[in-house]
Amino acid sequence: MTQLPTAAAPSRSHAAQPGHRTSQPLRAISYNIRYATQSPVLGERPWTVRCPKLCTQLNFLTAGHESPFICLQECLYSQIVDIQSRLGSNWSHIGRGRGTGETDGEFSPIFYPSGIWSCIRSETRWLSKTPYQPSKGWDAVLNRIVTMGEFVHKTRGTRVVVMSTHFDHIGVKARQHSAELLIQFAKEWSHDSDIKPAVVLIGGDFNSTPNDGAYKTMTAPGSGMSDIASLIPVDQHYGNHLTYTSFGEPTEWPKRIDFLFVQEPRTAVITSFGVVSNSFDDQIRISDHRPVVADMDIVSYF
């Protein structure tokens, strides 16, 4: 676990006036919601059944939290419209489809409470050698993207950068290079502004277990990233460990491939972490993934 840095006390003769310190609670959620397929697999219910359950779950997971950010993956445009409608006018989202047109293909959107936070810039990049245009990277079988946003708290002035992504499920080389690109983009977005963000967060479906190369790249020394789950003792984790469940297909195996990362060094103190269920008494799986949730307190100095 990376320890928070402590500042040395200034000498009496050269003591600077202390800056204003604020503590900002924030909840981060990453959730692959499963695209609205017209050909559901065995055990999968159609989007018309899953949608109200998913949106009710998102409303529950964010209720009472002033500053929740939701990183979703595998959303078609029609699903974005449905989710935005059910979350209501207090929410906005950023992101575009991974295809040629703005609404073509899957999104990795970020939903945020627009009454509390302003999005001051946003961008979608492709995880490829040509990240500024729709493209497929290395051995990937599909276009893959990352959605990035910088947000400012409307009353406190706290700045955060949030990124949502979905790595390729086939291309090993593509996942490796996608991780390298994410680290590069995160460093870029944390340093190219006059005011440094208080925290940089990445949520996504990485299609990579902790034993795979992409995850190891994300958490390698010098990457500047920590898996948020590793910052909380395991016996304090809530709920499940595995994040991908499938819909019960006999050829699929549950595994941990969805993560929340935070950039180091950080002023965020992680206070809780959990992997929430995607199925309840009715046995309807809301998605083939479970939502990953973390709470933190962000310390800012002005």
pLDDT per residue as tens digits for the range 104-123: 999 999 999 999 999 999 99
Strands 268-275 and 238-239: parallel
Whether 11 is in a domain gets the answer no
Domain with 92 in it: what CATH number? Answer: 3.60.10.10
**Per-residue pLDDT tens for 111-165?**
999 999 999 999 999 999 999 999 999 999 999 999 999 999 999 999 999 999 9
Does residue 7 form part of some domain? Answer: no
138 lies in some domain:
yes
Residue 169 has pLDDT above 50, yes or no: yes
Question: Sorting pLDDT into bands at 50, 70 and 90, what band is 10?
Answer: very low
Q: Residue 225 domain-assigned? A: yes
Looking at residue 194, its pLDDT comes to 80
In a domain, 133, yes or no: yes
In a domain, 298, yes or no: no
Question: Is residue 295, in this structure, part of any structural domain at all?
Answer: no
Number of H helices, E strands in the chain: 4, 13
| Count of structural domains within the chain | 1
Mean pLDDT of the chain: 93
DSSP 195: S
Domain residues for the domain of 93 are 23-290
pLDDT of res. 267:
87
Is residue 107 assigned to a domain? yes
Per-residue pLDDT tens digits for 78-100 = 999 999 999 999 999 999 999 99
Report the chain's terminal Cα–Cα distance, integer Å. Answer: 27
Q: In what order do the strands lie in the sheet with 159-166?
A: 117-126, 145-153, 159-166, 199-205, 258-263, 225-227
Phi-psi region of 186 (alpha: psi -120 to 50; beta: other; left: phi over 0): alpha
